[in-house]
Amino acid sequence: MIELRGIGFRYEEHEVLRSVDLTLDEGELVLVSGRTGVGKSTLLGVVTGLVPRFTGGVLTGDVLLDGTSIVEQPPRERAHLVGYVGQDPLAGFVADTVEEELAYGMEQLAIAPETMRRRVEETLDLLGIADLRSRDLRTLSGGQQQRVAIGSVLTTHPRVLVLDEPTSALDPTAAEDVLATITRLVHDLGLTVLLAEHRLERVVPFADRIALVAGDGSIRVGPPGQVLADSPVVPPLVELGRLAGWEPLPLTVRDARRRARELPPLVAPAPVAVRESVPRLAARGVTVVHGSHVAVREIDLTLSVGQVTVLMGRNGSGKSSLIWALQGTGRRASGTVDVDGEDPAALAPAQRRTHVGLVPQTAADLLYLETVADECAAADTGAGSEPGTCRGLLDRLAPGIDDAIHPRDLSEGQRLALALSIVLTARPPVVLLDEPTRGLDYAGKAELARIVADLATHGRAVLLATHDVEFAAHVADEVVVLADGEIVSSGPPRRVLAESPSFAPQVTKVLGAPWLVVEQVAAALAGGAR
Amino acid sequence: MTGSAAPSSGLPRDLHPIAWWTWAIGLATAASLTTNPLLLLFVMGSATVVVMARRSGHPFGRSFRLYVWLAVLTVVLRVVFRIVFGGQEVGHVLLDLPEVPLPDWAAGVRLLGPVTSEALLAGLYDGLRLAAIILCVGAANSLANPKRLLASVPPALYEIGTALVVAVTIFPQLADSARRVRAAQALRGGATSGVGRLRRFLVPVLEDALERSLSLAAGMDTRGYGRSGGATRRERRMTGSLLLLALIGICVGTYAWLDPTAPQVLALPMLGAGVVVAALGLVSAGRRVHRTRYRPDPWRTPELLTVGTGLAVAVLGWWVAHTQVVVAYPGVDVAPYLSPAALLVGVLGMVPAVATPVPASSPIRREVLA
């Protein structure tokens, strides 16, 4: 139905896509995958028409819809054919309330009022958001916003839906809701969906085909089992399948569980010996109140030397509020925080930084200078450390970053590493990270896991908040789950993660507790073979 | 029209924003035509009563308090200015402050000096007048969603209207991002004074704003904003020249009207012609924009009543100002009083508090539901 023919795209000297051919059939869900920065969003942009109009660069080749070329049409003239939802739905909202937002696209297309009224109601029901109809868009949760954004492009009855990372900012449950909605559209309405996502573990079971953007400008398209066999980015399930030599590769937990019976009996990993823990940060009865809303309710938390604590929970469960309160900038309503005998909230900002370091959700908020070298120098003078301290940290965290590069041009992972080095320059014994895995692909996350482990071995107490179950399984010494501002469970990951149906990593779902990550299985298999 | 005869005018719904704005402008007009503090207090009171009764549950509905503070500040500033920059020489001296001698080039400006009760009262009346106007605008803002108002502009102005809507939306986001960046910058060392500090704060905020605007523009574009309605080149040229002509006509007409030495033939006739051509141009431009409106606010009896109230208050206020000058502009040496007509001006503005339906998103109604 939609056909990309010989698409090429390049910025001045950098070639992003080269002679790409891709045909999307009616009622098909095609997943665009690949490492960050290889051109996944560019490929989507070619279909919506935003590339090259909003990005610059030179586009060659042709885009056909039902045999007619639409490559010359700007996005607005394709609005009735192609629906697009960007990475941050909130940034794309035009209206105030859910109902008006759903109607906006139809107003632009001059659809008759009676039809608009009917379609808004139908869409509200289809996406299960009827009870939100008059809500302010800004008060919705992330998953609700994403569903409203999808609904608002559906009302114009497009033929193709293009989604750029629809679940990357969502907690596991909200992501499942959104994906269930998308599959329902594909199955019931025969909608064609083109979707980019790097959390493959979430979307692979729903994909009909995968288009793997290789990074050299070419793409490889095929059924998931075939493409994932040698893809550089794969979900843990496929990793497990590769390891065990299963053919065809399992794509759903159900498949894998059936195959897992063939595995030789494995010796379960021994529980990690509880180390003598030296508390670094002790919080007692911390409460944070925003207006009349209690964000964090009387939480007790201890962060110990050399331990990584992972904070999990739904969007809006109080993770960020807790992190900012522990750092001292966020105001607490009551409770005490103690870092080496001092309360960070009572200190001046400069001293606070030497007690608790925090990397906020948007790491870019920390950066303001033109080059990496300038940023590092400013961090050194700001912290009163020897020149070169920050750069040294950066080289340890993410080696090989050019001094003269603009921080905005770094990849997400590199930018995070830079922000982290700046924070670490003040040598805080406690490091807090708020959602550091946003926008990182599997390689980026592996790198981050190494960095976090490195911080812990250097004696720092680390707390990080994340939605990413697989990442948590890799790094956590202890997991704390928040709900509605209270701790609902805490303890070692093999207990907490395995207990919860929504927070269990894929390997646990297949093999049961205490298995958490593929590496454990690999070690056990190797041990069994010996 | 059944049911609309009931005093509370039937089912809860939002009143048309234009009705609220006409009412508010009517009240503001009446307020601008008087300095009688009693009358001004009555006008402010009726605006407040209506806001309290018919405020919407929307975030804008909570903005009235801000306007109240702004109004109070205005009154205080006017009075303080009268003290600082001196008042009339004559009158009852309340406080004999020494005058600050100023150099010759500042001749005509007085700093401090004796404070008379007349000067204070004049400042107070003047401040009250401004405060009443501010409060009326604030009332309109918290009663009618400004975005709905912008959305009901004629089709030709639609694109400008949308740009304004977006600007209104961006503001709270900018405040959010400023707060976020401020907190984030406290997490690192670096420049702590002067330009460096400003830069630390501004660069990330502006980058963020730019990125947001781009993604909003992309979002709007993919949803069909600015689709061409299929106008031919000739039609577009026609629209363009009509609007240009109108602009020239209105400029020349306004100039001639304001400048008494210009030939009067150019004044009102030219202005009128300009307005007519502008209307034609707008109609022609509107034909180019092809779009529909989802659930437009209806225009019914409560709207007519509200608009009628606003107009009546304005006309009555004008009549009082011209026929009962002593009531409308009381001297500062006698106690102000109200005539029956002036009292009517002050009280009539309250009619919409009972004549309009309860807004669909009323905070009061929400509490009842909860």
CB contact under 8 A, B291 and A83: no
For A342, residues 6+ apart whose C-beta sits below 8 A from its C-beta are A355
Tokens describing residue B302: 């409560």
Nearest Cβ partner for A79 among B224, B228, B360: B224
Cα separation of B294 and B287, whole Å?
18
Instruction: Indicate if the pLDDT at residue B276 is higher than 80.
Output: yes
- Comparing A51-55, A73-77, A266-270, the range with the smallest average pLDDT is A266-270
For residue A428, say if its preceding peptide bond is cis, omega within 30 degrees of 0. Answer: no
In chain B, what residues touch A352 (CB-CB under 8 Å)?
Answer: 186
Beta partners for residue A311, in sequence order: A465, A480
Give the three-class secondary structure for A236: helix
Neighbours of A205 (CB within 10 A): 18
* pLDDT, tens digit (0-9, with 9 covering 90-100), for B23-59: 999 999 999 999 999 999 999 999 999 999 888 777 6
Mean pLDDT value across residues B174-185: 85
Instruction: Indicate if the pLDDT at residue A256 is higher than 50.
Output: yes
Tokens describing residue A385: 């450390």
**Shortest CA distance from B203: residue in chain A:** A368
Strand order in the sheet with A293-304: A293-304, A279-290, A334-339
DSSP state of A274: P
* pLDDT, tens digit (0-9, with 9 covering 90-100), for A357-407: 999 988 888 888 889 999 999 889 888 888 888 998 888 888 888 889 898
Instruction: Indicate if the pLDDT at residue B5 is higher than 70.
Output: no
pLDDT bracket for residue B1 (50, 70, 90): very low
CB contact under 8 A, A80 and B224: yes
In chain A, what residues touch B185 (CB-CB under 8 Å)?
Answer: 365-366, 368
Mean pLDDT, chain B, whole residue set: 81
Would you tell me the crossing angle of helices B301-323 and B340-348 to the nearest 10 degrees? 150
pLDDT bracket for residue B368 (50, 70, 90): very low
Note the pTM of the prediction, 2 decimals.
Answer: 0.80
pLDDT the model gives residue B363 = 53
Cα separation of A288 and A296, whole Å?
5
Q: How many helices (H) and strands (E) does chain A have?
A: 21, 19
- Comparing A182-186, A365-369, A504-508, B61-65, the range with the smallest average pLDDT is B61-65
* pLDDT, tens digit (0-9, with 9 covering 90-100), for B81-117: 888 876 556 677 777 777 777 777 766 677 777 778 8
Give the three-class secondary structure for B205: helix
CB B359 within 8 A of CB B56: yes
Helix (H) or strand (E) holding B200, with range, is helix B194-222
Instruction: Indicate if the pLDDT at residue B366 is higher than 50.
Output: no
pLDDT bracket for residue A32 (50, 70, 90): very high
**Phi, psi for A350 (deg, rounded to 5):** -65, -40
In chain A, what residues touch B58 (CB-CB under 8 Å)?
Answer: 96, 136
Neighbours of B200 (CB within 10 A): 23
Give the three-class secondary structure for B325: helix
Kindly tell me the burial class for residue A6, based on how many C-beta atoms sit within 10 Å of its own C-beta (0-12, 13-18, 19 or more).
exposed
Query: Which of A63, A61, A58, A43 minimizes the C-alpha distance to A10?
Result: A58
Cα separation of A39 and A9, whole Å?
9
Instruction: Indicate if the pLDDT at residue B370 is higher than 90.
Output: no
pLDDT bracket for residue B336 (50, 70, 90): confident
CB A195 within 8 A of CB A32: yes
Give the CATH architecture of domain A2-233. Answer: 3-Layer(aba) Sandwich (3.40)
In chain B, what residues touch A92 (CB-CB under 8 Å)?
Answer: 215-216, 218-220
| The dihedral formed by the CA atoms of A38, A43, A49 and A54, expressed in degrees to the nearest 10 | 0
Helix (H) or strand (E) holding A33, with range, is strand A29-33
**Shortest CA distance from A364: residue in chain B:** B204
* pLDDT, tens digit (0-9, with 9 covering 90-100), for A328-364: 988 899 999 999 889 999 988 888 989 999 999 888 8
Query: Which of A90, A102, A172 minimizes the C-alpha distance to A137?
Result: A90
pLDDT the model gives residue A528 = 63
pLDDT bracket for residue B227 (50, 70, 90): confident
Task: Please give the radius of gyration of chain A, using alpha carbons only, rounded to the nearest integer.
Answer: 24
pLDDT the model gives residue B365 = 46
CB contact under 8 A, B190 and A378: yes
In chain A, what residues touch B184 (CB-CB under 8 Å)?
Answer: 360, 362, 365-366
Mean pLDDT value across residues B174-186: 85
Q: What percent of chain B has pLDDT over 90?
A: 19
Cα separation of A348 and A352, whole Å?
6
CB A424 within 8 A of CB A393: yes
Cα separation of A146 and A3, whole Å?
27
Name which residue leads in pLDDT, A217 or A432: A432
Cα separation of A238 and A250, whole Å?
6
Would you tell me the crossing angle of helices A98-108 and A113-126 to the nearest 10 degrees? 130
CB A194 within 8 A of CB A161: yes
Mean pLDDT value across residues A44-65: 91
**Phi, psi for A308 (deg, rounded to 5):** -105, 120
For B155, residues 6+ apart whose C-beta sits below 8 A from its C-beta are B285, B286, B287, B289, B291
Q: Is B363 on the interface with A (CB under 8 A)?
A: no
Domain ranges for chain B, please list them: 17-146+299-369, 151-222, 233-288
pLDDT bracket for residue B231 (50, 70, 90): low
pLDDT the model gives residue A179 = 92
Instruction: Indicate if the pLDDT at residue A67 is higher than 80.
Output: yes
Cα separation of A38 and A216, whole Å?
8
Instruction: Indicate if the pLDDT at residue B285 is higher than 60.
Output: yes
Q: Is B203 on the interface with A (CB under 8 A)?
A: yes
**Shortest CA distance from B201: residue in chain A:** A368
* pLDDT, tens digit (0-9, with 9 covering 90-100), for B319-334: 998 898 888 888 877 8
Mean pLDDT value across residues A71-78: 89
pLDDT the model gives residue B8 = 46
DSSP assignment string, B233-256: HHHHHHHHHHHHHHHHHHHHHHHH
Instruction: Indicate if the pLDDT at residue B2 is higher than 50.
Output: no
Q: How many residues does chain B have?
A: 370
pLDDT the model gives residue B361 = 67
pLDDT bracket for residue B4 (50, 70, 90): very low
Return the CATH number of the domain spanning residue range A305-331+344-491: 3.40.50.300
Tokens describing residue A203: 């979307």
Alpha helices in A185-252 (DSSP H): 200-203, 224-228, 236-244
Instruction: Indicate if the pLDDT at residue B76 is higher than 70.
Output: yes
Cα separation of B11 and B357, whole Å?
6
* pLDDT, tens digit (0-9, with 9 covering 90-100), for A210-243: 999 988 889 999 999 899 988 888 999 999 999 9
pLDDT the model gives residue B308 = 94
* Chain centroid offset of residue A503 CA: 15
Which of A107, A157, A159 best tests the B interface by mutation, with the highest count of B CBs <10 A? A107
In chain A, what residues touch B203 (CB-CB under 8 Å)?
Answer: 368-369
ipTM: 0.86
pLDDT the model gives residue A191 = 93
Single-letter amino acid code for the residue at A118: R
Window 28-87 of B: residues touching A by CB (8 A cutoff) are 58-59
Domain ranges for chain A, please list them: 2-233, 235-264+504-530, 305-331+344-491
Mean pLDDT value across residues B109-130: 84
CB A497 within 8 A of CB A508: yes
CB contact under 8 A, A94 and B215: no
Cα separation of A204 and B361, whole Å?
42
Cα separation of B353 and B230, whole Å?
46
Angle at A295 between CA A294 and CA A296, to 5 degrees: 95
